[in-house]
């Protein structure tokens, strides 16, 4: 199956891409042209995006993005030190750039991860989450420190698309508790070589630093500019 990529964001006429909802029809735009249309049953655009219904509306699309395509090389360095009480930092590099970018991870409930936005685009939540996952993998010891590895801000439609990228369901869970990782119980201990407490792992809920209390699927809709409909009056 060849890779077919499309933008999961609302249609932007200036870019000629995205999804446009007209009454009960979804239109998929690329390069200034409508490439597909599908009837939809959702009562609001918010429900259409929150339920990821664009996957079903446009099954020919194998991979979705929420910003400009970014498929490059990512290098994530180890923790460098503590920048505040329970907050630690490190650096990452993308592509061939020698410009280091800061990342931070903070203990607490939830554990929060602060990473750069790709192309200064806060709407690219999928890209930001991909960076956050890479940082957590380094902290967990699941990713080689300083290794130059492939990076993508895409998410695959579902399990029927076979590659190593997360599915949309995996990337954008609906529940607050759904994004989790095993991290060292005490962050300070991972800075102390030989401290046995550094080997003790506990499952933590994760969140982006700028949205600690918002489930990722809801945050996805908010970043798109969609407003959750209120209750219908009797």
Helix (H) or strand (E) holding 94: strand 87-94
At residue 8 the predicted structure's pLDDT band, cuts being 50, 70 and 90, is very high
Residues 81 and 173 occupy one common structural domain: yes
**In sequence order, which residues have a C-beta less than 8 Å from that of residue 184 and are 6 or more positions away?**
139, 190, 197, 198, 199, 200, 201
Residues 122 and 204 occupy one common structural domain: yes
Distance from C-alpha of 186 to C-alpha of 1, rounded to nearest angstrom: 45
Report pLDDT for 213: 83
Residues 80 and 56 occupy one common structural domain: no
At residue 232 the predicted structure's pLDDT band, cuts being 50, 70 and 90, is low
Kindly report the pTM of this predicted structure: 0.88
At residue 211 the predicted structure's pLDDT band, cuts being 50, 70 and 90, is confident
SS (HEC) of 133-168 = HHHHHHHHCCCCCCCEEEEECCEECCCCCCCCCCEH
Residues 44 and 88 occupy one common structural domain: no
At residue 198 the predicted structure's pLDDT band, cuts being 50, 70 and 90, is very low
145 has pLDDT over 50 = yes
* 3-class state of residue 75 by DSSP: strand
Residues 93 and 130 occupy one common structural domain: yes
Residues 47 and 123 occupy one common structural domain: no
Note whether residue 229 is domain-resident. no
* 3-class state of residue 83 by DSSP: strand
Residues 24 and 107 occupy one common structural domain: no
At residue 199 the predicted structure's pLDDT band, cuts being 50, 70 and 90, is very low
Contact 50, 221 (CB under 8 A): yes
Residues 36 and 85 occupy one common structural domain: no
56 has pLDDT over 90 = yes
Residues 127 and 98 occupy one common structural domain: yes
Contact 194, 99 (CB under 8 A): no
Note whether residue 230 is domain-resident. no
Mean pLDDT, residues 160-180: 89
Domain limits for position 80: 71-224
Per the structure, how many domains does the chain have? 2
Contact 189, 195 (CB under 8 A): yes
Note whether residue 32 is domain-resident. yes
Note whether residue 79 is domain-resident. yes
């Amino acid at each position: 199956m060849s890779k077919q990529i499309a933008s999961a964001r609302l249609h932007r006429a200036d870019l000629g891409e995205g999804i446009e909802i007209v009454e009960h029809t979804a239109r998929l735009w690329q390069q200034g042209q409508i490439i597909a249309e599908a009837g939809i049953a959702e009562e609001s655009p918010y429900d259409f995006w929150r339920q990821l219904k664009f996957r079903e509306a446009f099954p020919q699309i194998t991979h979705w993005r929420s910003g400009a395509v970014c498929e490059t090389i990512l290098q994530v360095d180890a923790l460098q030190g503590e920048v505040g009480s329970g907050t630690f930092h490190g650096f990452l590099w993308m592509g061939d750039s020698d410009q280091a970018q800061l990342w931070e991870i903070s203990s607490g409930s939830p554990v929060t991860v602060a990473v750069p936005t790709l192309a200064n685009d806060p709407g690219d939540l999928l890209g930001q989450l991909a960076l956050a996952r890479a940082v957590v993998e380094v902290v967990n010891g699941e990713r080689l420190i300083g290794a130059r590895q492939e990076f993508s801000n895409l998410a695959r439609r579902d399990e029927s698309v076979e590659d190593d990228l997360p599915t949309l369901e995996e990337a954008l869970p609906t529940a607050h508790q759904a994004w989790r990782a095993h991290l060292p119980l005490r962050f300070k201990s991972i800075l102390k070589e030989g401290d046995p407490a550094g080997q003790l792992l506990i499952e933590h809920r994760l969140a982006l630093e700028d949205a600690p209390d918002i489930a990722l699927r809801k945050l996805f809709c908010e970043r798109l500019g969609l407003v959750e409909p209120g209750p219908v009056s009797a």
